[in-house]
Amino acid sequence: GARQGSAVGGPAGRNGDVDGGCGGSLTLLELAAGLRDAFASTDDNYLRTTTASAGSTAITALVTGSHVIVGNCGDSRAYLWRNGQVLPMSLDHKPDRPDELARIRSAGGWVSHGRVMHILAVSRSLGDRDFKLTATSTHGMPFTADLVSAEPEIRIATAQQGDELLLACDGLWDVLTA
């Protein structure tokens, strides 16, 4: 298979394919799936190798010759600066966001004062084992799925000459606006 560096840095081909070097190519959907797999394996590896209950938000970007692909999990943000305009490339995963609230409730959890189980202020993160399906006894209620998901939301934009991309955690966004 192609090395990751050449797979995401090559020129675009037909149908959104990206030249993977070594004669291979990956579609935008395959790159997005790769991001989802990377988030899932990072979450799984962390939870498997530690008993800590800590967690972290995560944001990452794959920039090809033709596209910018952003994966976000939590309240870190990405913005694309294009022709004097700021374009959001992510949405915060807050527990009171309607789709996140519905997902948490359908998994058997609840949200109070904008926090999952009145504790965590994000609805997606890596780690945070106390809010995963395997930790149902922590809160004394049966979960049917993870209350806090490690699945990233993916956004894809066509790259243009002169684009600039900014990725940052809430430490920056709590004091600045885009």
Using one digit for the tens of pLDDT, what is the confidence trace for 65-80?
899 999 999 999 999 9
**Residue 122 pLDDT exceeds 50:** yes
Helix (H, G, I), strand (E, B) or coil at 31: helix
Amino acid at position 149, single letter: S
Give me the residues paired with residue 127 across strands: 55
146 phi, psi to nearest 5 deg: -60, 130
pLDDT at 135: 67
What's the DSSP call for residue 53?
-
Q: Comparing 23 with 168, which gets the higher pLDDT?
A: 168
Q: Comparing 178 with 155, which gets the higher pLDDT?
A: 155
Per-residue tokens: 148: 């806090």
Domain architecture of the chain: domains with CATH: 4-171 (3.60.40.10)
In angstroms, the CA 107 to CA 114 distance is: 17
% of the chain surpassing 90 pLDDT? 70
**Residue 20 pLDDT exceeds 80:** no
pTM metric for this prediction = 0.81
What is the average pLDDT value for the chain, to the nearest integer?
Answer: 85
pLDDT at 25: 82
CB atoms within 10 A of CB 100: 21
Q: Are 149 and 156 in contact (CB under 8 A)?
A: no
pLDDT at 95: 98
CB atoms within 10 A of CB 140: 6
